Structure 1
């Protein structure tokens, strides 16, 4: 066998708390890689409810790579949450109509920080909040209840509010090697053959994986 099927919504039989969320997404602005899972005892298949203010007129996307682990209550704030910042008031008068729509801002007048991109093999801890336009690199770890407002380098552990770097997971040369190897892009047969290496504490051995 070569592991669970990436097309299974609930890969752990009898345990719907965990689901491969690629199979539950309907919004085309959310892109999820194979084997990325969301863990939530209150409806893991409803991950989209945690992606907030994702409006078609803004055109931004949430992109999450393969083999990511997303804990319960992680939230993603998207660009649609932003108000104009260069005015006397930030109150969104225009959305209430009744004559106030005359001050509707143009899209280009609203803050826009681009797509939110989560790399591969990223672990995002319980109740964390990811702000618009953030890029979290491959292999990174976000500690529980963090508020991520800036980009996170690959294979870096961050935590806090605002989240700050705690430490790199590996030496710089090892991180470069892991980013070159990209084990998550191997075919699933090769990944399965090399699970003992992938789950070991010796990344260099990946270079000899067959």
Structure 2
């Protein structure tokens, strides 16, 4: 096991460990999180999938460990949000040279809604769109082509446009046990010994191992 490698599967150049291909210091990715892209080079995730992410905003994309991100999933950042406080949605401040405006006010062209934070063990489906300011909890599932405008609780399946909670994946007790276990932070050897229990849904076994 090597979370630093680029391609975790032999002869598969459509799947990468995202942490190994991202260079932007404002994109933070946990170990073993994977991205698959059968349309574009998955190594270009930063360019093709993280949109309107300009350094002037200092906003961050934070993705936890063991996440699965499907082809075409995108993260839409603050500079895409033309301000609604103005009488016009036209972004005058970014054309400061044309209109003789102060360059220091350029960020007033858009509404800053904050970072995008993705928990651990999150599955983001094909061509889903995650908007700025959204937090997705550990263990959540985002359906294909969902547009996520609001936070998604842990271990919740969400889908649709705009995305809404469909159902919880497990009982409240099971979710509580999983969140308490934080199995994604365990040493790799311990995770490997527990894979059969994880795959079989034996929450009690994980609780015993905490």
Please give the range of the TM-score, normalised by the shorter of the 2 chains.
Answer: over 0.9
Secondary structure of the equivalent of 2:12? Answer: coil
Match in the other structure for 1:170: 170
Match in the other structure for 2:43: 45
TM-score (norm. length: structure 2): 0.93
CA deviations 1:13-41 (Å, max 9, x no partner) are 11011000100111111000000010002
CA deviations 1:50-93 (Å, max 9, x no partner) are 10011111011000000000000000001122222122211113
Match in the other structure for 2:12: 15
Greater CA drift, 61-70 or 101-110: 101-110
Match in the other structure for 1:99: 98
When the two chains are superposed, the root-mean-square deviation of aligned CA atoms in Å is: 1.6
Taking the aligned partners of 1:85 and 1:103, their CA distance within structure 2 comes to 20
Match in the other structure for 2:75: 76
Matched, 1:130 2:127: no
In the alignment, is the contact (CA less than 8 A) between 2:93 and 2:108 conserved in 1?
A: no
In the alignment, is the contact (CA less than 8 A) between 1:11 and 1:19 conserved in 2?
A: yes
Secondary structure of the equivalent of 1:99? Answer: helix
1:78/1:101 Cα in 2 relative to 1: closer, same or farther (>3 Å)?
Answer: farther
Structure 1 segments unaligned to the other structure (5+ residues): none
Match in the other structure for 1:58: 57
In the alignment, is the contact (CA less than 8 A) between 2:93 and 2:106 conserved in 1?
A: no
In the alignment, is the contact (CA less than 8 A) between 1:124 and 1:143 conserved in 2?
A: yes
Taking the aligned partners of 1:100 and 1:207, their CA distance within structure 2 comes to 62
How many angstroms does 1:96 deviate by?
A: 3.2
Structure 2 segments unaligned to the other structure (5+ residues): none
Taking the aligned partners of 1:95 and 1:138, their CA distance within structure 2 comes to 37
Greater CA drift, 164-173 or 102-111: 102-111
Runs of 4+ in 1 over 4 A off after TM superposition: none
In the alignment, is the contact (CA less than 8 A) between 2:113 and 2:132 conserved in 1?
A: yes
1:112/1:94 Cα in 2 relative to 1: closer, same or farther (>3 Å)?
Answer: closer
Taking the aligned partners of 1:99 and 1:165, their CA distance within structure 2 comes to 45
Greater CA drift, 175-184 or 78-87: 78-87
In the alignment, is the contact (CA less than 8 A) between 1:37 and 1:69 conserved in 2?
A: yes
How many angstroms does 1:97 deviate by?
A: 4.4
Taking the aligned partners of 1:204 and 1:25, their CA distance within structure 2 comes to 36
Match in the other structure for 2:159: 159
Secondary structure of the equivalent of 2:132? Answer: coil
Aligned residues: 207
Taking the aligned partners of 1:55 and 1:152, their CA distance within structure 2 comes to 25
In the alignment, is the contact (CA less than 8 A) between 1:93 and 1:101 conserved in 2?
A: no
